[in-house]
């Protein structure tokens, strides 16, 4: 009997407070930046080896992140011919992760221009944007500071923050994700 009551209360609580609801997060960025690799380690922190193929269209995963929040993660293909598809996902997105390959300085300009397009989208006006300067393990210039180049927070009043990380080394991802989860939760309370 006690079990039934506690299950009922849990169900009631989740209906009232919507705690089972998954927040939609879109992951975008140029091809080969490490988006699908990121999803793999979010799904399974203990995974030893990452295997990815270029994403065509989208791949969606539902993840319970650290027992804190359910995330519907939309991993979108970054090849230039596929980027026009990103905007289809803007309307339902509650957060954006924009991944950059920090070792590919010749494509920073292109990445920045795509990030600006995302920030200009009306549907995403208030959603938090996490910029992940990935592949830090490949960066030779240790003075490189992408947090200035890719920090466009002065142009908008939404939560936007740049974090450095290496997805394959599993460094820096957790801190960045915690910021994102807290930003989503703060937005949902508004
Ligand atoms: N050295 C290094 N390689 C990484 C890192 N993150 C991802 N990679 C590698 O980068 C390559 C591309 O990774 P993906 O995750 O498939 O890239 P993507 O952004 O999903 O690419 P598209 O699906 O084409 O848009 C793979 O070989 C990954 O192993 C990292 O932090 N460091
Ligand atoms: Mg991919």
Name the residue with higher pLDDT: 187 or 12.
Answer: 187
Closest-approaching ligand to the CA atom of 29: 1
74: in domain? yes
In short, whether 138's Cβ falls inside 6 Å of ligand 1 is yes
In short, whether 50's Cβ falls inside 6 Å of ligand 1 is yes
CATH number of residue 166's parent domain: 3.40.50.300
The 10s digit of each residue's pLDDT in 110-151 is 999 999 999 999 999 999 999 999 999 999 988 889 988 898
H/E element, 58: strand 58-65
The predicted pLDDT at position 142 comes to 81
The 10s digit of each residue's pLDDT in 64-102 is 999 889 999 999 999 999 999 999 999 999 999 999 999
46: in domain? yes
12: in domain? no
60: in domain? yes
11: in domain? no
Query: Exposure pattern of 107-127 as b/e (b: 16+ CB <10 Å)?
Result: bbeebeebbeebbeeeebeeb
3: in domain? no
What total of structural domains would you count in the chain? 1
Print the domain residue range for 89. 22-189
**Separation of CA 75 and ligand 1 centre (Å):** 12
Global pTM value: 0.90
């Amino acid at each position: 009997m006690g079990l039934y009551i506690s299950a009922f209360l849990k169900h009631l609580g989740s209906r009232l407070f919507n705690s089972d609801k998954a927040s939609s997060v879109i992951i975008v960025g140029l091809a080969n930046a490490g988006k699908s690799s990121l999803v793999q380690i979010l799904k399974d922190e203990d995974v030893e080896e990452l295997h990815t193929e270029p994403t065509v269209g989208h791949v969606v995963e539902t993840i319970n992140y650290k027992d804190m929040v359910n995330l519907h993660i939309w991993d979108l293909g970054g090849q230039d011919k596929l980027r026009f598809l990103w905007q289809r996902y803007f309307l339902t997105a509650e957060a954006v992760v924009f991944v950059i390959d920090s070792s590919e300085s010749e494509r920073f300009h292109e990445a920045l221009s795509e990030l600006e397009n995302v920030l200009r989208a009306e549907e995403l006006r208030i959603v938090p944007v996490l910029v992940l300067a990935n592949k830090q393990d490949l960066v030779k210039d240790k003075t490189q500071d992408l947090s200035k180049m890719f920090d466009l927070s002065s142009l908008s009043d939404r939560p936007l923050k740049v974090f450095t990380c290496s997805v394959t080394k599993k460094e820096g991802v957790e801190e960045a994700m915690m910021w994102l989860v807290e930003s989503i939760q703060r937005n949902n309370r508004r």
